[in-house]
Amino acid sequence: MVRRSALVALVLLACGAGPAAAAAPHEQILTLYSPKIHSEPYVGYQQALTLRPDGQEAPSRPGYITSFVEQVLVDSKRPDAKPLPIGKMMIHHLLYFAPHRVDQFPGTCLGLIGLRGEEEPLGHYAKPIPATVRARYGINNRTATGQAPGWLLVAMVMNHYARAKDFYVRTKVRYTTEPRESVSPIVLGDCTNRLSGNLYDVPGGGRPGSSFVDRGSWTVPDGFNGRIVVAQSHQHGGARYQTLGSRTCGRRLLKARAYYGRPNHPYNTVRPILHEPGPIGNGTFASATGIPITAGEVLTRTAVHDNSNLHVAAMGFWWLLVAKDDRAKRCGPVPHDLRQIGRPPRFAKHPNYDLVVPQLAKPQGPLTPFDGNPITLGDDFFRPDRISARVGQTISWRFGGALPHSVSVANGPRGFSSLYYGRTDGVYSFRPRVRGIYRLTCLVHPTRMAQTLVVR
């Protein structure tokens, strides 16, 4: 059985901790900075950044991460630099990887060592974690040869400033070179869709109150038994709730609600609207005993979204923290101490799923019939700006230019999108089956690029 101190340690690793927590023995807080990132105004751009193990970008010595304390954006490396306001620089996600570290348990399609999504608006957590807990557990940050690995940071940030902006990702981690017992994260999502980060489109067009459901399953690898001690739902794009179940055992294990900000929350008041506002919290669950999982067991996820409106680039996956336990029994009892943690203190009781995301650029020119040849998509333009097509006709866009772009529906009768963080080459195709006016945009450059598609 996992003791209560183990539970708190794993919650710490999943959710981070605030700066008030005391230091554990031989533990220090490392302040790390990404290389400088440049963003043009009103751009939502994803970048992959290599963090060197030099003590400035990633830890220089092998050891254990005992918590992520802070993950924010700053415009300087001054120790007293305040985080940039989320109403100006909004984080869609920060994903941290240590590609060659040891002790990554099998069966995950994303070997994350840490993450921050939209559902953590402040970038840190105020609840202190006892030092005695962090003295025992950590994520092993070393390679098979005993060196500190380099890290990879994938950052998608939306710049709401009316000017170009340079900034850094400042990350604070509690770290120790003393021995710890390893724990490991497992991502339960659509591993066949890794290129787009497990994203999918909710088409919309349903009656009020209707739902879109995305399902998936994961089989616990051979030779692995353990316990789910923490389960964090990550879901957005008209998210209602997400469940985790066991098909093998014929039971639902968890149901995680998506929590949205009140009307005055910065996610709802920022202008211009570069993308649909996401939740300010997703359900997270913890148990000192842990939910047993065993080799060959099929776990299922069910992500439920609003379908009365379209929601492009939606997502639903579970981030599980597991402890290896060879004594775990097949279909063992769900523990009585299973509890939800991290529920926001204030949230909207009735989320606004009907928000119309505007098409910020205005297409000009005559309405041109689609002739079957791919539409040109280049740096800051669709060509032609306005096109017409028939229901069921396959329409293609060819990407070119130096910058990444996407083809995405801002609003219209149904939702669809190419790779949400953009691409620079290749062809994307879609066959509309519903008549109407589709107002398209580039999610990377929404204020500069747009196209109107009229389907008859």
pLDDT digits (tens, 9 = 90+) for 6-20: 433 444 444 444 444
- Three-state secondary structure call for residue 384: coil
For residue 453, give the nearest of 417, 420, 422, 409 by alpha carbon.
409
What are 182-199's pLDDT values in tens digits? 888 888 887 665 555 578
In this prediction, residue 131 carries a pLDDT of 58
The one-letter amino acid at 196? S
Any idea how long the chain is? 456
What are 126-164's pLDDT values in tens digits? 344 445 447 767 889 999 999 999 999 999 999 999 999
Among the residue ranges 1-15, 39-53, 429-443, the one predicted with the least confidence is 1-15
Highest-scoring range by mean pLDDT, 17-21, 180-184, 337-341, 407-411:
407-411
Higher pLDDT: 429 or 401? It is: 429
DSSP state of 237: S
In this prediction, residue 129 carries a pLDDT of 44
Does the pLDDT value for residue 40 go beyond 80? yes
Share of the chain above pLDDT 90, in %: 61
Q: In angstroms, rounded to a whole number, what is the distance separating the alpha carbons of residues 135 and 142?
A: 18
User: Is omega for the bond preceding 106 within 30 degrees of 0, making it cis?
Assistant: no
Q: What residues have CB less than 8 Å from 333, skipping those under 6 apart?
A: none
- What does DSSP say about strands 311-324 and 450-455: parallel, antiparallel, or unpaired? unpaired
Mean pLDDT of all residues belonging to the chain: 87
What are 368-394's pLDDT values in tens digits? 999 999 999 999 999 999 999 999 999
Q: Name the pLDDT band for 340 (thresholds 50, 70, 90).
A: confident
**CA–CA distances in Å: residue 290 to residues 2, 15, 66, 167, 420:** 7, 17, 20, 40, 36
Q: Which residue has the tokens 């950044």?
A: 49
Does the pLDDT value for residue 431 go beyond 50? yes
In this prediction, residue 49 carries a pLDDT of 97
